[in-house]
């Protein structure tokens, strides 16, 4: 069973009264991003930082899909669920790192799934790393994130 947090995420405020929003930019002094990411994210005062552990494709029941794309979708769903539990949503992510077992052919599909996550906001600064293996051989992708959330 897939966790549906989309409705919950839409109900969460991005900022509290008087709080500033996260500013994501691409300075004109450097080349434009080669993919969907921002070069910098500024975290305003009055926010708390959330450091999310790397998320793999484990479903809430502990099972793991076999394919890279399915694992990536579940890892992103896990990130959404963690954010929602903390009163946050994808717009609050200020840094994302993706570790993928060496399967570059799958990455276009993964990039599309990631882009869906940030379709309503500027994407965060991001790093993609190809690795030969992750903590367990069945893990094909791991995604970690840092989020900045207004203090409640």
Q: Return the half-sphere exposure (C-beta side, CA atoms, 13 A cut-off) of residue 71.
A: 24
Tell me, yes or no, whether 134 lies in a domain.
Answer: yes
The pLDDT value recorded for residue 2 is 39
Tell me the pLDDT band of 151, cut-offs 50, 70 and 90.
confident
Tell me, yes or no, whether 7 lies in a domain.
Answer: no
* 15 and 6 Cβ atoms separated by less than 8 Å: no
- Please count the structural domains in the chain: 1
Tell me, yes or no, whether 30 lies in a domain.
Answer: no
Residue of 90, 87, 88, 97 lying closest to 126 (CA atoms)? 97
* 126 and 48 Cβ atoms separated by less than 8 Å: no
Does position 3 have pLDDT exceeding 70, yes or no?
no
Reported as a single tens digit per residue, the pLDDT across 135-146 is 999 999 999 999
Reported as a single tens digit per residue, the pLDDT across 19-67 is 578 999 999 999 998 888 899 999 989 899 999 999 999 999 999 999 9
The pLDDT value recorded for residue 19 is 53
Domain that holds residue 140: 46-150
Residue of 125, 51, 134, 66 lying closest to 99 (CA atoms)? 134
Tell me the pLDDT band of 152, cut-offs 50, 70 and 90.
confident
Does position 88 have pLDDT exceeding 90, yes or no?
yes
* 88 and 121 Cβ atoms separated by less than 8 Å: no
Does position 115 have pLDDT exceeding 60, yes or no?
yes
Tell me, yes or no, whether 38 lies in a domain.
Answer: no
Q: Tell me the whole-structure pTM to 2 decimals.
A: 0.82
Tell me, yes or no, whether 119 lies in a domain.
Answer: yes
What is the domain-level CATH number for residue 131? 3.30.1330.40
- Per 3-state DSSP, the chain is made up of helix, strand and coil in percentages (nearest 5) of 25, 25, 45
In the chain the first and final C-alpha atoms are separated, in Å, by: 31
Strand ranges (E), the chain: 23-25, 40-42, 47-55, 93-101, 126-131, 141-150
The pLDDT value recorded for residue 8 is 29
């Amino acid at each position: 069973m897939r966790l549906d947090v989309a409705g919950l995420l839409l109900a969460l405020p991005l900022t509290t009264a008087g709080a500033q929003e996260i500013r994501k930019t691409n300075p004109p002094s450097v080349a434009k991003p080669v993919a969907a990411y921002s070069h910098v994210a500024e975290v305003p005062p009055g926010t708390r930082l959330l450091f999310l552990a790397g998320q793999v494709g484990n479903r809430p029941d502990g099972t793991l899909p076999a394919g890279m794309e399915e694992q990536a979708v579940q890892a992103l769903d896990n990130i959404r669920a963690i954010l929602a539990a903390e009163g946050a949503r994808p717009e609050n992510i200020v840094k994302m790192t993706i570790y993928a077992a060496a399967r570059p052919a799958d990455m276009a599909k993964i990039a599309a799934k990631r882009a869906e996550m940030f379709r309503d906001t500027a994407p965060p600064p991001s790093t993609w790393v190809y690795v030969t293996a992750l903590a367990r051989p069945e893990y094909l992708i791991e995604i970690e994130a840092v989020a900045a959330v207004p203090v409640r």
